[in-house]
Structure 1
Amino acid sequence: MTQGYRDLVVWQQAMNVAVETYRLTSAFPKDEMFGLTSQMRRAAVSIASNIAEGEGRKSRNEFSHFLGIALGSKSELETQIVLSEPVNLLKTSETESIKKSLDDIWKMLTALRRKLGTRDKT
Protein backbone atom coordinates (compact mmCIF):
# COMPACT_ATOMS: atom_id res chain seq x y z
CA MET A 1 0.00 0.00 0.00
CA THR A 2 1.41 3.37 -1.01
CA GLN A 3 1.45 6.35 1.29
CA GLY A 4 1.84 8.82 -1.58
CA TYR A 5 4.29 11.60 -0.89
CA ARG A 6 5.67 9.81 2.21
CA ASP A 7 7.07 7.13 -0.08
CA LEU A 8 9.03 9.70 -2.09
CA VAL A 9 12.73 9.73 -1.19
CA VAL A 10 12.86 13.42 -2.08
CA TRP A 11 10.13 14.19 0.49
CA GLN A 12 11.97 12.15 3.12
CA GLN A 13 15.20 14.02 2.36
CA ALA A 14 13.36 17.35 2.51
CA MET A 15 11.99 16.42 5.93
CA ASN A 16 15.52 15.65 7.10
CA VAL A 17 16.67 19.05 5.83
CA ALA A 18 13.82 20.75 7.71
CA VAL A 19 14.80 19.00 10.95
CA GLU A 20 18.46 19.90 10.40
CA THR A 21 17.51 23.51 9.69
CA TYR A 22 15.64 23.71 12.99
CA ARG A 23 18.66 22.23 14.75
CA LEU A 24 21.10 24.66 13.12
CA THR A 25 18.97 27.74 13.73
CA SER A 26 18.26 26.86 17.37
CA ALA A 27 21.69 28.27 18.23
CA PHE A 28 21.06 31.58 16.44
CA PRO A 29 20.86 34.69 18.63
CA LYS A 30 17.39 35.64 19.88
CA ASP A 31 17.51 38.87 17.86
CA GLU A 32 17.43 36.69 14.72
CA MET A 33 14.19 34.94 15.76
CA PHE A 34 12.10 37.07 13.38
CA GLY A 35 14.87 37.41 10.82
CA LEU A 36 17.03 34.70 9.37
CA THR A 37 15.86 32.02 11.82
CA SER A 38 12.24 32.39 10.75
CA GLN A 39 13.09 32.74 7.06
CA MET A 40 15.28 29.63 7.01
CA ARG A 41 12.75 27.53 8.88
CA ARG A 42 9.90 28.58 6.59
CA ALA A 43 11.92 27.87 3.45
CA ALA A 44 12.98 24.45 4.78
CA VAL A 45 9.43 23.46 5.70
CA SER A 46 8.20 24.75 2.35
CA ILE A 47 10.30 22.25 0.40
CA ALA A 48 8.65 19.18 1.95
CA SER A 49 5.24 20.85 2.17
CA ASN A 50 5.11 21.69 -1.53
CA ILE A 51 6.16 18.17 -2.50
CA ALA A 52 3.32 16.81 -0.35
CA GLU A 53 0.75 19.33 -1.57
CA GLY A 54 1.63 18.76 -5.21
CA GLU A 55 1.41 14.99 -4.91
CA GLY A 56 -1.90 15.35 -3.12
CA ARG A 57 -3.41 17.30 -6.03
CA LYS A 58 -3.37 14.11 -8.16
CA SER A 59 -2.70 16.07 -11.33
CA ARG A 60 0.61 15.76 -13.17
CA ASN A 61 0.62 19.43 -14.10
CA GLU A 62 -0.16 20.60 -10.58
CA PHE A 63 2.36 18.19 -9.08
CA SER A 64 5.03 19.56 -11.42
CA HIS A 65 4.04 23.12 -10.53
CA PHE A 66 4.41 22.46 -6.80
CA LEU A 67 7.74 20.71 -7.38
CA GLY A 68 8.84 23.94 -9.05
CA ILE A 69 7.84 25.86 -5.94
CA ALA A 70 9.80 23.36 -3.83
CA LEU A 71 12.83 24.02 -6.05
CA GLY A 72 12.46 27.72 -5.39
CA SER A 73 12.29 27.13 -1.65
CA LYS A 74 15.40 24.95 -1.90
CA SER A 75 17.28 27.79 -3.57
CA GLU A 76 15.98 30.26 -1.00
CA LEU A 77 17.18 28.09 1.91
CA GLU A 78 20.53 27.49 0.25
CA THR A 79 21.03 31.24 -0.17
CA GLN A 80 20.18 31.85 3.49
CA ILE A 81 22.59 29.13 4.60
CA VAL A 82 25.36 30.65 2.50
CA LEU A 83 24.57 34.10 3.97
CA SER A 84 24.69 32.74 7.51
CA GLU A 85 28.38 31.89 7.12
CA PRO A 86 29.97 35.33 6.52
CA VAL A 87 27.71 36.94 9.15
CA ASN A 88 29.05 34.40 11.66
CA LEU A 89 25.81 32.59 12.43
CA LEU A 90 27.07 29.25 11.08
CA LYS A 91 30.47 27.80 10.26
CA THR A 92 31.13 26.25 6.87
CA SER A 93 31.84 22.95 8.60
CA GLU A 94 28.30 23.05 10.03
CA THR A 95 26.68 23.64 6.65
CA GLU A 96 28.48 21.12 4.43
CA SER A 97 26.04 18.28 5.11
CA ILE A 98 22.87 20.32 4.58
CA LYS A 99 24.25 21.85 1.38
CA LYS A 100 24.95 18.34 0.06
CA SER A 101 21.40 17.31 0.96
CA LEU A 102 20.03 20.36 -0.86
CA ASP A 103 22.05 19.42 -3.96
CA ASP A 104 20.57 15.91 -3.77
CA ILE A 105 17.07 17.36 -3.41
CA TRP A 106 17.63 19.54 -6.48
CA LYS A 107 18.66 16.49 -8.50
CA MET A 108 15.66 14.45 -7.35
CA LEU A 109 13.14 17.25 -7.91
CA THR A 110 14.41 18.02 -11.40
CA ALA A 111 14.42 14.31 -12.29
CA LEU A 112 10.89 13.90 -10.98
CA ARG A 113 9.67 16.91 -12.96
CA ARG A 114 11.33 15.49 -16.06
CA LYS A 115 9.66 12.13 -15.44
CA LEU A 116 6.27 13.83 -15.11
CA GLY A 117 6.87 15.31 -18.55
CA THR A 118 4.78 18.39 -17.87
CA ARG A 119 5.26 22.07 -18.47
CA ASP A 120 4.14 24.78 -16.06
CA LYS A 121 1.86 27.41 -17.53
CA THR A 122 2.95 30.01 -14.96
Structure 2
Amino acid sequence: MHQFSFERLTAWQLSRVFVKKIYQLTSNFPIEEKYGLVSQLRRASISISSNLAEGSSRLSAVDQKRFYQYSYSSLMEVINQIIISSDMNFISDEELVELRKDGNELSKVINGLVKSLITK
Protein backbone atom coordinates (compact mmCIF):
# COMPACT_ATOMS: atom_id res chain seq x y z
CA MET A 1 0.00 0.00 0.00
CA HIS A 2 1.21 3.49 -0.88
CA GLN A 3 2.48 5.58 2.02
CA PHE A 4 1.97 9.35 1.87
CA SER A 5 4.83 11.62 2.90
CA PHE A 6 3.04 12.83 6.05
CA GLU A 7 2.80 9.25 7.31
CA ARG A 8 6.59 9.17 7.57
CA LEU A 9 6.72 12.30 9.75
CA THR A 10 7.57 11.50 13.36
CA ALA A 11 5.41 14.46 14.42
CA TRP A 12 2.39 13.03 12.62
CA GLN A 13 2.96 9.58 14.14
CA LEU A 14 3.20 11.07 17.64
CA SER A 15 0.12 13.20 17.01
CA ARG A 16 -1.94 10.09 16.20
CA VAL A 17 -1.05 8.59 19.56
CA PHE A 18 -1.84 11.92 21.22
CA VAL A 19 -5.30 12.06 19.58
CA LYS A 20 -6.07 8.56 20.78
CA LYS A 21 -5.13 9.50 24.35
CA ILE A 22 -7.33 12.60 24.18
CA TYR A 23 -10.28 10.56 22.92
CA GLN A 24 -9.82 7.94 25.63
CA LEU A 25 -9.43 10.59 28.32
CA THR A 26 -12.46 12.63 27.28
CA SER A 27 -14.70 9.57 27.17
CA ASN A 28 -14.76 9.87 30.98
CA PHE A 29 -15.72 13.56 31.09
CA PRO A 30 -19.12 14.59 32.42
CA ILE A 31 -21.90 14.21 29.85
CA GLU A 32 -22.67 17.93 30.00
CA GLU A 33 -19.21 18.59 28.53
CA LYS A 34 -19.94 16.54 25.38
CA TYR A 35 -20.53 19.65 23.27
CA GLY A 36 -18.15 21.84 25.24
CA LEU A 37 -14.71 20.83 26.41
CA VAL A 38 -14.87 17.30 24.99
CA SER A 39 -15.66 18.57 21.51
CA GLN A 40 -13.02 21.31 21.73
CA LEU A 41 -10.30 18.92 22.91
CA ARG A 42 -11.08 16.35 20.26
CA ARG A 43 -11.25 18.83 17.39
CA ALA A 44 -8.06 20.62 18.44
CA SER A 45 -6.15 17.35 18.83
CA ILE A 46 -7.25 16.18 15.39
CA SER A 47 -6.22 19.55 14.00
CA ILE A 48 -2.63 18.84 15.08
CA SER A 49 -2.28 15.80 12.83
CA SER A 50 -4.45 17.26 10.05
CA ASN A 51 -2.30 20.37 9.72
CA LEU A 52 0.86 18.26 9.69
CA ALA A 53 -0.61 16.18 6.87
CA GLU A 54 -1.77 19.21 4.92
CA GLY A 55 1.52 21.02 5.42
CA SER A 56 3.50 18.08 4.09
CA SER A 57 1.59 18.32 0.81
CA ARG A 58 2.49 21.97 0.23
CA LEU A 59 5.13 22.65 -2.38
CA SER A 60 6.75 25.72 -0.86
CA ALA A 61 8.65 25.80 2.42
CA VAL A 62 6.70 28.92 3.41
CA ASP A 63 3.38 27.09 3.04
CA GLN A 64 4.67 23.99 4.80
CA LYS A 65 5.95 26.09 7.69
CA ARG A 66 2.60 27.89 8.04
CA PHE A 67 0.70 24.61 8.41
CA TYR A 68 3.26 23.20 10.83
CA GLN A 69 2.82 26.37 12.89
CA TYR A 70 -0.95 25.85 12.81
CA SER A 71 -0.31 22.36 14.12
CA TYR A 72 1.80 23.76 16.95
CA SER A 73 -0.92 26.30 17.76
CA SER A 74 -3.51 23.52 17.95
CA LEU A 75 -1.22 21.64 20.32
CA MET A 76 -1.03 24.72 22.56
CA GLU A 77 -4.84 24.88 22.48
CA VAL A 78 -5.00 21.26 23.69
CA ILE A 79 -2.44 21.89 26.44
CA ASN A 80 -4.52 24.85 27.64
CA GLN A 81 -7.67 22.77 27.60
CA ILE A 82 -6.16 19.88 29.55
CA ILE A 83 -4.96 22.35 32.18
CA ILE A 84 -8.53 23.65 32.42
CA SER A 85 -9.76 20.05 32.55
CA SER A 86 -7.47 19.49 35.52
CA ASP A 87 -8.71 22.69 37.17
CA MET A 88 -12.26 21.38 36.81
CA ASN A 89 -11.20 17.98 38.25
CA PHE A 90 -12.15 16.19 35.03
CA ILE A 91 -8.67 14.63 34.86
CA SER A 92 -6.22 13.55 37.54
CA ASP A 93 -2.88 15.17 38.26
CA GLU A 94 -1.20 12.06 36.87
CA GLU A 95 -3.14 12.29 33.60
CA LEU A 96 -2.25 15.97 33.30
CA VAL A 97 1.45 15.24 33.83
CA GLU A 98 1.41 12.43 31.25
CA LEU A 99 -0.38 14.51 28.62
CA ARG A 100 1.88 17.50 29.22
CA LYS A 101 4.90 15.23 28.79
CA ASP A 102 3.47 13.91 25.51
CA GLY A 103 2.65 17.45 24.42
CA ASN A 104 6.15 18.64 25.23
CA GLU A 105 7.70 15.87 23.13
CA LEU A 106 5.33 16.60 20.26
CA SER A 107 6.04 20.34 20.45
CA LYS A 108 9.77 19.73 20.14
CA VAL A 109 9.30 17.59 17.04
CA ILE A 110 6.92 20.09 15.42
CA ASN A 111 9.31 22.95 16.23
CA GLY A 112 12.08 20.92 14.62
CA LEU A 113 10.02 20.72 11.43
CA VAL A 114 9.44 24.48 11.47
CA LYS A 115 13.12 25.22 12.11
CA SER A 116 14.19 22.91 9.29
CA LEU A 117 12.08 25.01 6.90
CA ILE A 118 13.37 28.39 8.09
CA THR A 119 16.70 27.75 6.40
CA LYS A 120 15.04 26.86 3.08
**TM-score, length of structure 2 as denominator length:** 0.93
RMSD after superposition: 1.5
Give 1:36's aligned residue. 37
Distance 2:41 2:86 in 1: 13
Distance 1:36 1:118 in 2: 38
Q: What are the within-5 Å matches in structure 2 for residues 59-98 of structure 1? A: 59-98=60-99
Structure 1 unaligned residues grouped into runs of 5+: none
Structure 2 unaligned residues grouped into runs of 5+: none
Distance 2:114 2:80 in 1: 22
Distance 1:118 1:46 in 2: 25
Q: Does the 8 Å CA contact 1:46/1:70 hold for their aligned counterparts? A: yes
- In the TM superposition, structure 1's runs of 4+ consecutive aligned residues that sit over 6 Å from their partners are none
Distance 1:57 1:4 in 2: 11
Change in CA separation of 1:2 and 1:29 when aligned onto 2, cut-off 3 Å: closer
The percentage of aligned residue pairs carrying the same residue is 33
Using the TM superposition, give the Cα deviation of residue 61 of structure 1 relative to its aligned residue in structure 2, in angstroms: 1.0
